Amino acid sequence: MGPRVMIVADWVEVVERIFRIRAPDEGWPGRMGATSKGATRLNGKTLRLAFHVGGARLGSTGDQMGVFSKVLTDDSNWGCDMRGRDLARRGVSRRGFMKDGALALVGTSVIPAFLMKSVMAEATTAAANHKKLVVLFQRGAADGLNIVVPYAEKNYYAMRPSIAIQQKDVLDLNGFFGLHPAMAAFKPLWDEGHLAIIHAAGSPDSTRSHFDAQDYMESGTPGVKVTQDGWLNRALQAEPVSGKQSAFRAVALGTQVPRTLQGKQPAIAVNNLADFSVGGKGPQATPISNAFQAMYDQSTDAVLHGTGQETFEAVKMLKAADPAHYTPAAGVVYPNTPFGNSLKQVAQLMKANLGVEAAFSDIGGWDTHQNQGNVNGQLANRLKEFADSIAAFWKDLGPDAENITLVTMSEFGRTARQNGTGGTDHGHANVMFVLGGAVKGGKVYGRWPGLANEQLNEGRDLTVTTDFRNVLGEAAYRTLGAKHLEMVFPGARVQPADFLNFS
């Protein structure tokens, strides 16, 4: 852990309001669900405030204020009782976190590098070409066989007697594959040549663990559990950089920086753009904002003092775009769901010209062991939200969409055969989508392995024929200008000669 820097503060109410924290005795989940020892009780509440920036733990203390040690936990449940996703490996001392939409930072230095630089657009390959890469993770293992349906495969219907999508219901793509009817919003993107599909894609690792498979895909190193950083962070490092970097170069929508974006390249996480400030909504700084800024300015620690003002400059930069009053383009309606709102906020950031080059978001709910449904049901509902949100994002960007490459991924697919509870279990190969202005869409890429019994992986799953790293590598190479792919995917031998050439 890096040097500890303490900030003296007496304004308990100010701190509570800034961070919107709940005391542990009011239900806030601390480490292992327990209240840490040594916390000070004040006005009937236990206050423990600390956040991490790089390797340094920044806390608040004072004669009347205890030390609040807030541990970042991932409280999501994406199926199979998978909670606290890779908490130990992520190393919470490498993050800063401001609750409810403010700011998360990640980096390996004591203070994140972007705070040492002015908040201005950078001169990178992607920035110079106005290119942007969006990565979306479908957490829980989506059923690729019912998303892009191989309706011409007879065995598909034999293996899925009650959950298969009938040929009359699919949205035909090429006479062999068809989209699930809930994904009608994707069909125009396919017809216009902007949407490409890579089927039978996945990881060479055979794990059926959500935890391990997600970790391998986000790190970009299947089978290797000691990788510390994410593939997208390394892709940004592999891009030529000169000049000043934008604080918003790498952004994730959510309460913490995901595994994909962890690493040396600074990244931020935003949960709610309208609250991306300690000063509330509106152009004028509030007394709370001023008080919080004063906490930094009054620090006598040189390392901390040199970064406080630049943090606020990053906030001001976003607030100038007035995100609380953002209106999507005419005719664009995002689903009123967390995922829909995440993509709307990605569009806001990109249209505000804040220097975003890489953005990440995710959507859970794909672990359909029971009652998966077919044309209607659990999976259909999730697919409609997924497709409608992405289509709205594309339309919202308008002419800027031509500079976007959007890639989707999921940790693995699902079994070719349905199970006894009307669902599917953990499988292997899956489907990936690539959307973009430079994408050669209207085509299904990759080699189809077939669904005959003898063609299945381990006699139960769709076989992987395209390594997911080849797809991500091509997207990073073409969009970000990440030419050193051996750095992005160590040991994978991803190279342009092996690209699918979907862009």
Is the domain spanning 116-498 CATH 3.40.720? The answer is: yes
Distance of alpha carbon 260 from alpha carbon 230, whole angstroms: 4
pLDDT, tens digit (0-9, with 9 covering 90-100), for 153-207: 999 999 999 999 999 999 999 999 999 999 999 999 999 999 999 999 999 999 9
User: Which value, to the nearest 10 degrees, does the dihedral of the CA atoms of residues 431, 434, 435, 437 take?
Assistant: -160
pLDDT of 239 reads 82
Contact (Cβ atoms closer than 8 angstroms) between residue 147 and residue 373: no
Q: Which two tokens stand for residue 199?
A: 């089927």
Q: Which two tokens stand for residue 467?
A: 């390594």
Distance of alpha carbon 238 from alpha carbon 438, whole angstroms: 21
**Residue 174: how many other CB atoms lie within 10 Å:** 12
Q: ∠ CA 237-268-197 to the nearest 5 degrees?
A: 65
Contact (Cβ atoms closer than 8 angstroms) between residue 69 and residue 37: no
Residues of the chain with pLDDT under 50: 1-79, 81-123, 277-293, 295-311
Ramachandran sector of residue 175 (left: φ over 0; alpha: ψ -120 to 50; beta: rest): left
Report the candidate in 244, 12, 21 with the shortest Cα–Cα distance to residue 120. 244
Instruction: Say which residue the tokens 């002015």 belong to.
Output: 118
pLDDT of 124 reads 57
Contact (Cβ atoms closer than 8 angstroms) between residue 155 and residue 453: yes
What share of residues in the chain are helix, strand, coil (percent, to 5)? 35, 20, 50
pLDDT of 323 reads 73
DSSP 233-275: HHHHHTS-EESPPPTTSEEEESSS--GGG-SSS-EEEES-GGG
Classify the C-alpha dihedral 439-433-231-495 as positive or negative: negative
Report the candidate in 20, 66, 19, 73 with the shortest Cα–Cα distance to residue 46. 66
Q: According to CATH, where is 3.40.720 located in the chain?
A: 116-498
Q: Which two tokens stand for residue 493?
A: 């031998």
Pairing of the two strands 267-270 and 250-253: parallel
pLDDT of 19 reads 37
pLDDT, tens digit (0-9, with 9 covering 90-100), for 60-93: 333 333 333 333 333 333 346 443 343 333 333 2
> What stretch of H or E contains 41?
strand 40-42
Contact (Cβ atoms closer than 8 angstroms) between residue 376 and residue 499: no
Contact (Cβ atoms closer than 8 angstroms) between residue 26 and residue 45: yes
Report the candidate in 406, 479, 488, 492 with the shortest Cα–Cα distance to residue 235. 488
